[in-house]
Amino acid sequence: MPDGLIVKAFSNFFTTEIDGRRINLQLPGKFRQSGDKAYAGDRVVVELDGNEGIITEILPRKSLLQRPPIANVDNVLIVLSTKMPGLSLGLLDRLLVLIEDENLKPIIIINKIDLLSELTEVNQIIEVYRDIGYPVICTSALSGEGISKLKEALSQGITVVAGPSGAGKSTLLNAISPDLNLATGAVSKKLKAGRHTTRNVELLKVEGYGFLADTPGFSNLDITSVAKERLGHCFLEFRDLSLNCRFRGCLHKSEPDCAIKERVQGDIAEWRYKNYLSMLEEIEEWEERRY
Ligand SMILES: Nc1nc2c(ncn2[C@@H]2O[C@H](COP(=O)(O)OP(=O)(O)O)[C@@H](O)[C@H]2O)c(=O)[nH]1
Ligand SMILES: [Mg+2]
Ligand SMILES: [Zn+2]
């Protein structure tokens, strides 16, 4: 039996790509009864009968992103812009926490660099994230600057694009592959409003780069699903340092001899620590209300 990749999930219908062909399949009731679901990004074994068929097996998945629901994501592109909307480090750090919590590998893109008279305005920020270990690429979807670097950084597989509305996600994807012809600007806002109401996901095939999901991606930036003990782990530069905290399970807040607090402004950027504290507070408040 052939296997295929689900590229589109719409209620119980799954558009599946099998040897370059697209076939609409349904998930038999026995899966639903056992609570197994299928998602865009899943590899499935199918039983074909002409142009129809059924899914007989969902192959083991490496990962499952919750919002948007996509299985087996290989890359996450975080697209921010220098201006319109301005660079929000709070949003960036939140996205990074969600991505680290899912054990995914992000690429940070700072788009609209054509709107800066000098790159020095963002250089310090870029250095901080590069030192942590994140790839950062500066682009202008308008002038084409950085697009070839971005293409090089994209590996095969499934790529999800995240970031605030208006940062240039769709314009960048069009620059990578003009065939995509995605709606940009004001037009896309209307489309998005419609799309938000559904949980349908579509993976777009990009010749040479696998599949891209241009969803409102991580539009719900709720971090309360992250356990407070795990939050520090989602700040990569805290990981090794926190071994030197006096207490195991130190939350780096008010504990004595905290190695993280000691390094703020040194190895740790002040805004990263502040963003950590405000997320921690949010998680603690949510946990208190819950119990
Ligand atoms: N100046 C400038 N404008 C851009 C750039 N990339 C996108 N835009 C504009 O920003 C607006 C929003 O872009 P869009 O791709 O729809 O953003 P999305 O909501 O993230 O998908 C559009 O009017 C684009 O033309 C860029 O690199 N430089
Ligand atoms: Mg868009
Ligand atoms: Zn500590």
The predicted-structure confidence for 146-158, as pLDDT tens digits, reads as follows 999 999 898 788 9
Q: What is the CATH number of domain 3-60?
A: 2.40.50.140
User: Over the stretch 233-253, which tens digit does the pLDDT of each residue have?
Assistant: 999 999 999 999 999 999 999
Q: Quick check: 163 pLDDT over 50?
A: yes
For residue 198, pLDDT beyond 90: no
Fold of 228-290: Ribonucleotide Reductase Protein R1; domain 1 (1.10.40)
- Is the pLDDT assigned to residue 206 strictly greater than 90? no
Q: Quick check: 193 pLDDT over 80? A: no
Report how far ligand 1's centroid is from the alpha carbon of 190 (Å).
15
Residue 218 has pLDDT above 70, yes or no: no
Q: Is the CB of residue 142 below 6 angstroms from any atom belonging to ligand 1?
A: yes
Query: Start-end ranges of CATH 3.40.50.300 in the chain?
Result: 65-213
Tell me, using a 6 A CB cutoff, whether residue 114 lines ligand 1: yes
Q: Cite the residue boundaries of each domain of the chain with CATH code 1.10.40.50.
A: 228-290
Q: Does the CB atom of residue 135 touch ligand 1 within 6 A?
A: no
| Probe residue for ligand 1, chosen from 171, 172, 190 as the CB with the greatest number of ligand atoms within 8 Å | 171
Per-residue model confidence as pLDDT tens digits over 2-38: 789 999 998 888 999 998 899 999 888 888 788 888 9
- 122 compared with 156, residue with greater pLDDT: 122
Residue ranges near ligand 3 (ion) with Cβ within 5 Å: 245, 250, 252, 258, 260
Site to probe by mutation for ligand 1, drawn from 139, 184, 187, 204 as the one with most ligand atoms within 8 Å of Cβ, is 184
Comparison of pLDDT for 221 and 251, the residue scoring more: 251
H-assigned helices in the chain: 29-33, 89-101, 120-132, 147-153, 169-176, 186-196, 228-231, 259-263, 270-290
Strand 158-162 with 201-202, pairing: unpaired
Report the CATH fold assignment for 65-213.
Rossmann fold (3.40.50)
**Residue 188: what pLDDT?**
54
**CATH 2.40.50.140 domain range(s) in the chain:** 3-60
pLDDT confidence bin for 187, thresholds 50/70/90? low
Task: Tell me, in angstroms, the distance from the centre of ligand 2 to residue 87's CA.
Answer: 17
DSSP structure class, residue 180: G
pLDDT, tens digit (0-9, with 9 covering 90-100), for 35-48: 888 999 999 999 98
Contact 74, 107 (CB under 8 A): no
